[in-house]
Amino acid sequence: MPSRFTLETHVAARPDAVFDLARDIGAHVASMRDSGERAIAGTTEGPMRLGDTVTFRARHLGVWFTLTARISEMHAPSRFVDEQVRGPFRSFRHEHRFEETTGGETKMTDTIELASPVFGVIVERLILVPYLRRLIARRNAHLAASFPEAGTR
């Protein structure tokens, strides 16, 4: 059974603007600078669209990984899903949701479901989930800081 977690981030911008930035390869790569992440194949710049794939190369947990993901669902500007096509996980699915809150902010909700290829649920819950939660939180803080009235709560 895959592990799952959800992370909410509030962004001082409209949902359509956050939706667009969250799909942008350049913004993603910039937010993952600490891991040396690069887009090496597929869509390597600009916004991802339904059916697009991208292959990233990055160093995580001291190991270099290559992961290819496809945008499998998209309902602009409220939701999109990317899923691993090839890579280090048995399965990896990332749902991105964007909802307007009172005051014109956006509640960005990330739900990640993953399965480890070898080590199973213990490694998923003790190592991978906490690591990925921190990674997505840093990514979201970077995206939120891209807007003039930046901030997260």
Q: Are 79 and 16 in contact (CB under 8 A)?
A: no
In a domain, 134, yes or no: yes
Residue 4 has, within 13 A of its CA and on its CB side, a CA count of: 6
pLDDT at 1: 75
In a domain, 30, yes or no: yes
pLDDT at 153: 44
pLDDT at 83: 98
How many structural domains are present in the chain? Answer: 1
Q: Mean pLDDT, 10 residues at a time, over the chain (153 residues)?
A: 93 96 97 94 97 97 94 98 96 97 93 87 88 96 85 44
In a domain, 150, yes or no: no
In a domain, 152, yes or no: no
pLDDT at 151: 46
In a domain, 151, yes or no: no
In a domain, 128, yes or no: yes
In a domain, 39, yes or no: yes
In a domain, 153, yes or no: no
CATH at residue 104 = 3.30.530.20
Domain that residue 107 falls in: 3-145
Q: Are 108 and 98 in contact (CB under 8 A)?
A: yes
How far separated are the first and last CA of the chain, in Å rounded?
31
What pTM, to 2 d.p., does this model score?
Answer: 0.93
